[in-house]
Amino acid sequence: GSVKIIDYQLCQGCTDLEKVTFSEGNEFIKWGAFEDCYKLKEIVVPATVKKIEGRAFAFLDKLNEFKAGAGHQ
């Protein structure tokens, strides 16, 4: 099966990430998972994600595209 939970501070401070595309089946992105990934430009979240905790995507200076699946705003 797929990973359902993206864990607390999983990639916090990663310096080489430019794009993150979550798989269908991911349901929960925990606090600070991608915080301070300063090169991150694009995030794609499927409709299966039901909860994103605070600061999961904080301090992303270069982020210019956030795509959310149907049912998200």
User: pLDDT tens digits, residue range 33-70?
Assistant: 999 999 999 999 999 999 999 999 999 999 999 999 86
pLDDT at 63: 95
SS3 22: coil
The tens digit of pLDDT for each residue in 9-30 reads 999 999 999 999 998 999 999 9
| Statement: residue 4 has pLDDT above 90 | yes
Closest CA to 40 of 73, 17, 10: 17
Report the distance separating Cα 71 and Cα 15, nearest Å.
31
| Statement: residue 73 has pLDDT above 60 | no
| CB-CB neighbours of 50 under 10 Å | 12
Strand intervals (E) in the chain: 5-6, 19-21, 28-29, 42-45, 51-52, 65-68
Q: What global pTM score does this model have?
A: 0.85
